[in-house]
């Protein structure tokens, strides 16, 4: 049976039980603590990931993922305790203000008359929570448990798939695993868009982590087929990309051949989430045009070229090992350079079928490297004069 689904059901059951036993105040405090933990994690995840990289083998995106999760768990636990204490303190003060004097006197007399046993004390605390509070607490607890279950299911599935991919093992995802991956990836995309302004890298990582072994196999097949290389080396495609008009890219024969590749088509469907094939083609053409122009802005920088041609990155590009890619500072830096490049204004307009002389046809781009008399390394699309 699917372990992630068992965890999901268990967390719902635990949430309902704890909510019914503790009442809605406890559950609300947990929700507030999760929100606070999210904000704290977002602010401090980078320095915490840097600290984790300095004391462990974890590097790059993997350090960020593990560090973010660890920081979230720690801060949510601490904030839950603090918020619960504050809410209880406020509730006690409110109840003392509204308690009638006769009830206070009766309470004092009963306390003096007999010392309650531990069982009686526990029963008294339980009875102090009204039935409505318990029911509301159970409902909220179940919802919180379901949310936690989906996240834990995603984490378990992603982790197991990464290690399976490293062993070369491929396993089909269950229906629940696919659903949890879709939900968490969508939430991550929305959060990245709202907080960072760009969801491309988060969304892309999420798609690969949905089924790492299968998706890396597809990427490898696309690369081996040569269809991707032929697409980017085509003069008509490079002219279309340089025009920043995605409609031109979509209309090239090379794009049609690329999209006809079953593995590329399957990956594109995961990235774009469109049912209509026409909408999927349009979204893919726009995204390729956007990323190509972002890369074009940074590809001649010394840092980008040094990272791209480093032995570590070259080795990973041949092995397609997702675990190694996530655990690499160099890969993380490459993605940062691309993501930080200004986003180009991409059009999707109809155009004349005649050749546009304003956008020259490019042949396969060569990058030349040389060292000047001061020892500084230069990269350019032109040879040294």
Lowest-confidence region among 85-94, 354-363, 375-384: 354-363
- What is the C-alpha to C-alpha distance for residues 346 and 368, in angstroms, rounded to an integer? 28
When pLDDT is averaged across residues 125-137 and rounded to a whole number, the result is 72
Per-residue model confidence (pLDDT) at position 92: 66
What HEC string does 232-270 produce?
HHCHHHHHHHHCCEHHHHHHCHHHHHHHHCHHHHHHHHH
pLDDT bracket for residue 64 (50, 70, 90): confident
> Which residue has tokens 């406890």?
26
pLDDT bracket for residue 70 (50, 70, 90): confident
Nearby residues of 291 by Cβ (< 8 Å), 6 or more positions away = 200, 338
Counting residues of the chain whose pLDDT is more than 70, the rounded percentage is: 68
Per-residue model confidence (pLDDT) at position 299: 86
- What is the C-alpha to C-alpha distance for residues 136 and 3, in angstroms, rounded to an integer? 29
Per-residue model confidence (pLDDT) at position 355: 43
- Compute CA distances 10 → 4, 76, 246, 326, whole Å: 10, 20, 48, 30
Contact 255, 359 (CB under 8 A): no
Per-residue model confidence (pLDDT) at position 96: 55
Residue 100: is its pLDDT beyond 70?
A: no
Tokens representing 204 are 């892309």
Q: In the chain, where are the structural domains located?
A: 3-95+129-210, 227-380
Contact 280, 355 (CB under 8 A): no
Residue 125: is its pLDDT beyond 80?
A: no
Per-residue model confidence (pLDDT) at position 130: 76
Between 275 and 305, the more confident residue is 305
Instruction: Select the highest-mean-pLDDT range: 49-63, 84-98, 206-220, 327-341.
Output: 327-341
pLDDT bracket for residue 382 (50, 70, 90): low
Counting residues of the chain whose pLDDT is more than 90, the rounded percentage is: 11
């Amino acid at each position: 049976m699917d372990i992630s689904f068992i965890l999901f059901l268990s967390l719902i059951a635990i949430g309902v039980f704890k909510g019914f036993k503790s009442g809605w105040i406890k559950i609300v405090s947990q929700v507030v603590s999760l929100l606070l933990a999210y904000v704290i994690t977002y602010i401090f995840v980078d320095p915490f990931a840097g600290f984790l990289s300095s004391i462990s083998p974890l590097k790059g995106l993997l350090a960020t993922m593990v560090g973010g999760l660890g920081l979230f768990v720690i801060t949510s636990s601490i904030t839950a305790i603090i918020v619960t204490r504050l809410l209880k303190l406020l509730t006690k003060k409110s109840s003392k203000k509204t308690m009638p004097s006769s009830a206070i006197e009766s309470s004092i007399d009963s306390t003096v008359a007999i010392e309650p046993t531990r069982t009686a004390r526990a029963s008294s605390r339980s009875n102090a929570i009204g039935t409505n509070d318990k029911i509301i607490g159970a409902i909220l607890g179940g919802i919180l448990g379901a949310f936690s279950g989906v996240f834990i299911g995603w984490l378990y599935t992603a982790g197991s798939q990464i290690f399976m991919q490293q062993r070369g093992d491929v396993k089909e995802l269950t229906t629940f695993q696919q659903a949890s991956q879709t939900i968490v990836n969508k939430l991550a995309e929305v959060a990245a868009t709202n907080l960072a302004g760009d969801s491309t890298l988060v969304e892309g990582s999420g798609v690969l982590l949905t089924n790492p072994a299968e998706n890396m196999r597809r990427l490898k097949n696309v690369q081996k087929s040569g269809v991707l290389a032929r697409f980017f080396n085509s003069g008509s495609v490079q002219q279309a990309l340089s025009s920043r008009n995605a409609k031109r890219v979509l209309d090239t024969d090379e794009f049609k051949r690329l999209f006809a590749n079953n593995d590329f088509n399957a990956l594109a469907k995961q990235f774009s989430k469109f049912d209509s094939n026409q909408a999927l083609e349009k979204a893919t053409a726009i995204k390729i045009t956007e990323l190509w122009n972002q890369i074009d802005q940074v590809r001649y920088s010394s840092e980008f070229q040094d990272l791209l041609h480093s032995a570590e990155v070259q080795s990973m590009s041949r092995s397609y090992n997702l675990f190694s890619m996530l655990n690499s500072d160099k890969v993380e830096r490459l993605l940062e350079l691309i993501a930080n490049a200004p986003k180009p204004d991409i059009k999707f307009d109809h155009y004349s079928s005649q050749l546009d002389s304003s956008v020259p046809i490019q042949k396969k781009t060569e990058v030349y490297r040389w060292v000047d008399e001061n020892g500084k390394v230069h990269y350019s699309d032109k040879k040294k004069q």
